[in-house]
Amino acid sequence: MIHMDNELLHTPDGFRDLYGASCVAQSAVQSGMHKVMELYGFEETAPPAFEFFNVFLQGASTVSTREMFRFFDRDGNTLVLRPDFTPGIARCAARYDAAEDLPLRLCYHGNTYVNTENYKGRPKEIPQLGAELINDGSADADAEMIALLIDCLKQAGLTDFRLEIGHAEFLNGLLEEAGLDEARTRRLKDLIAQKNVSGVEALLADLPMDEGIRELLIDLPMIFGDLSEMKRQASRTKNARSVAALQSLTELHEILSSYGISEYLTYDLGLLSAHDYYTGIIFKAYTYGTGDALALGGRYDRLLSGFGKDAPSIGFAILLDPLMSALKSQNVSVPVPKRCLILYRAAGRAAAVEYANRLRAEGILAAVIRRSSRKGADEYLAYAKKHGFSDVICLNEDGEASPLRPGEEGL
C-alpha cells in the first residue's frame, strides 16, 4: 500500500517506469528487431489500444474476462484495454483485406494489459513486438516465421538461445482418445505444461481409458529433444490427429534445414500454450538469465473466421521485459545511436549551435548545454554517462572542439 503523500511519485501496482538508459537500450533493441521484420516484407500495423469487449470473446483471448481492464464509453459500450494483439489484428485483416487471398505480412509493437491480482507480482503492462502472417497455411509459412523470430533474437544480441517447437493437435488427438471432461482436460494441460509427471499420473490413475494412451500422456511432459526421438515415442498412438501433427512437424523440420538454423531448434510434444486459438505448430523461445519465455507463437487457422474471413494464419510475439533481462544477465552490449553532448561558454553559443547542427545533419544525436562555472568536468561526465552520451565535447568561441577531460574545473 502506498501512502497518499507518496502517491504522486509511484506507479500503480503492476506498472513501472522505463526511464533513462534502460529506455534508450530497449528502444534500440526494438528498433533493430523491427528492421528485421521489415526486411522480411512485413508491414507495420497499429490497432487501437481499446477494442470492443466482443472482439476478445470472439477472438478466444488467452486472458479471462476477470483479468481484462474493462471500461464504458459515453454510449454505454463495453471497451477493453487490449490483453492480446492477435484478435485486434485479425479484426483489421477481416475488415480491410476481406477479399485478399494472397499472404498478408503484418507486424506491430506496443503494450498489452492484463489486470492480474496485485499479490501475484506479475506485470500488468507488457511491452512487446510481433508479426502475423495471414492467408498462408503452408509449412513454408511456419518455417518463415520461425526463421524470422530467430533472426530477430540474433539481431537483439542473443547467441545462446533455444526455440522449442510443438504441435497443438498432437495432444488434442490424445485427449480425444482419452475422453476426458473439460475440467480434467484443463488440469491435465496445466500439469503437462509444468512437466509434472507424477501429477499427470495421479490425475489419470483411476480414469477409464486405453492403457497405451494413459502411459503416453504420463510420459508426454518428458518427450522432448531430437525430432527422431519424438517420432519414436509418438508411434505409440495411431489416432489421425496426432499422426498428422507428427507429419506436420517432420515436414517443417525438413524446410527449416534449408534456413541453416537447426542449432537453435528443439522439439517438445508436451509444449503447450495458454492461447486456445492455436490449431497447429506452437513455439516458445528461451535463454539463460531469465526464467520466462522470450517469445511465443503459433498457428491459428480458425481465429479469423470469427470475424468473417476464412484465412489460415500464424504469428508470434517477442516479450521485451524478459528479453532485456536476459541481455543484461548475459552482459550483452546493446549498440545505441551515437549521442554527443556539447558544452560551450556564453561567447561560443553560435559556434556550438552550428557544430550541433552539423552533427545532426550527419544523423548523430547532439545536445548542447551552456557550461556552468559551478560544475566540474566530473559532474558533466557523470551526467553524460547517466543519459547515454558517448562523447562530451567542449567548444570555444572560435568553434574549436576538444573532448572534456576528467578533473577539469568549471569555466
The predicted-structure confidence for 246-266, as pLDDT tens digits, reads as follows 999 999 999 999 999 999 999
Predicted pLDDT at 209: 85
Residues 26-34 have a mean pLDDT of 94
Confirm whether 175 is domain-assigned: yes
Copy the grid coordinates of residue 81: 484495454
Q: Look at phi and psi of residue 76 and say left if phi exceeds 0, alpha if psi is from -120 to 50, else beta.
A: left
Confirm whether 411 is domain-assigned: no
Residues 144-158 have a mean pLDDT of 97
8 Å CB contact between 165 and 145: no
Confirm whether 80 is domain-assigned: yes
Rg of the chain (C-alpha set): 26
Confirm whether 203 is domain-assigned: yes
User: Do 318 and 201 have their domain in common?
Assistant: yes
How many structural domains does the chain have? 2
Q: Which residues of 255-294 are buried (b: 16+ CB within 10 A; e: fewer)?
A: bbeebebeebbbbbbbbbbebebbbbbbbbbbbebbeebb
Predicted pLDDT at 409: 57
Say which CATH number the domain at 365 has: 3.40.50.12590
Residues 6 or more apart whose CB falls under 8 angstroms from that of 88 comprise: 47, 48, 51, 55, 59, 82
Per-residue pLDDT at 2 exceeds 60 = no
User: Do 279 and 310 have their domain in common?
Assistant: yes
Predicted pLDDT at 396: 83
Residues 272-287 have a mean pLDDT of 87
Say which CATH number the domain at 27 has: 3.30.930.10
pLDDT in tens, 196-235: 999 999 998 888 888 888 899 998 888 888 888 888 888 8
Structure-model confidence comparison of residues 1 and 243, the more confident one: 243
Distance, in Å, from the CA atom of 346 to the CA atom of 149, rounded to the nearest integer, reads 51
Which residue has cell 477479399? 99
User: Do 23 and 152 have their domain in common?
Assistant: yes
User: Do 284 and 346 have their domain in common?
Assistant: no
Per-residue pLDDT at 177 exceeds 90 = no
Which has the closest alpha carbon to 230: 178, 295, 165, 177? 165
Q: DSSP letters of 127-193?
A: EEEEEEEES--SHHHHHHHHHHHHHHHHHHT--SEEEEEEEHHHHHHHHHHHT--HHHHHHHHHHHH
Pick the last residue of a domain from 304, 329, 354: 329
Per-residue pLDDT at 365 exceeds 70 = yes
Q: What angle do CA 406, 408, 411 make, to 5 degrees?
A: 140
Confirm whether 409 is domain-assigned: no
User: Do 349 and 278 have their domain in common?
Assistant: no
Comparing 42-51, 147-156, 286-295, 395-404, the range with the smallest average pLDDT is 395-404
Q: Look at phi and psi of residue 266 and say left if phi exceeds 0, alpha if psi is from -120 to 50, else beta.
A: beta
Distance, in Å, from the CA atom of 200 to the CA atom of 214, rounded to the nearest integer, reads 9
Which residue has cell 528498433? 31
Residues 50-58 have a mean pLDDT of 85
Per-residue pLDDT at 301 exceeds 80 = yes
Sheet with 365-370, edge to edge strand ranges: 365-370, 339-344, 391-395, 401-403
User: Do 240 and 345 have their domain in common?
Assistant: no
Confirm whether 231 is domain-assigned: yes
User: Do 281 and 366 have their domain in common?
Assistant: no
Confirm whether 138 is domain-assigned: yes
Residues 62-76 have a mean pLDDT of 86
User: Do 266 and 196 have their domain in common?
Assistant: yes
Pick the last residue of a domain from 329, 358, 389: 329
Pick the last residue of a domain from 298, 329, 360: 329
Residues 6 or more apart whose CB falls under 8 angstroms from that of 295 comprise: 149, 152, 153, 284, 285, 316, 317, 318, 319, 323
Total count of residues recorded for the chain: 411
User: Do 358 and 307 have their domain in common?
Assistant: no
Confirm whether 410 is domain-assigned: no
Copy the grid coordinates of residue 383: 551526467
Name the 3-class secondary structure at 312.
coil
User: Do 234 and 210 have their domain in common?
Assistant: yes
- For residue 303, give Cα distances in angstroms to 57, 141, 296, 313: 11, 17, 17, 8
Predicted pLDDT at 181: 85
User: Do 386 and 269 have their domain in common?
Assistant: no
Per-residue pLDDT at 411 exceeds 90 = no
Most confident of 19-33, 51-65, 127-141: 127-141
Per-residue pLDDT at 95 exceeds 90 = yes
Average pLDDT, the chain: 89
pTM tops 0.75, yes or no: yes
Phi, psi of 171 (to 5 degrees): -70, -40
Predicted pLDDT at 119: 63
Distance, in Å, from the CA atom of 268 to the CA atom of 250, rounded to the nearest integer, reads 13
Per-residue pLDDT at 57 exceeds 90 = no
Predicted pLDDT at 337: 83
Predicted pLDDT at 382: 92
Domain extent for 64? 18-329
User: Do 124 and 175 have their domain in common?
Assistant: yes
Per-residue pLDDT at 3 exceeds 60 = no
Q: Look at phi and psi of residue 399 and say left if phi exceeds 0, alpha if psi is from -120 to 50, else beta.
A: left
Comparing 95-99, 235-239, 350-354, the range with the smallest average pLDDT is 235-239
pLDDT in tens, 99-141: 999 999 999 999 999 988 876 678 899 999 999 999 999 999 9
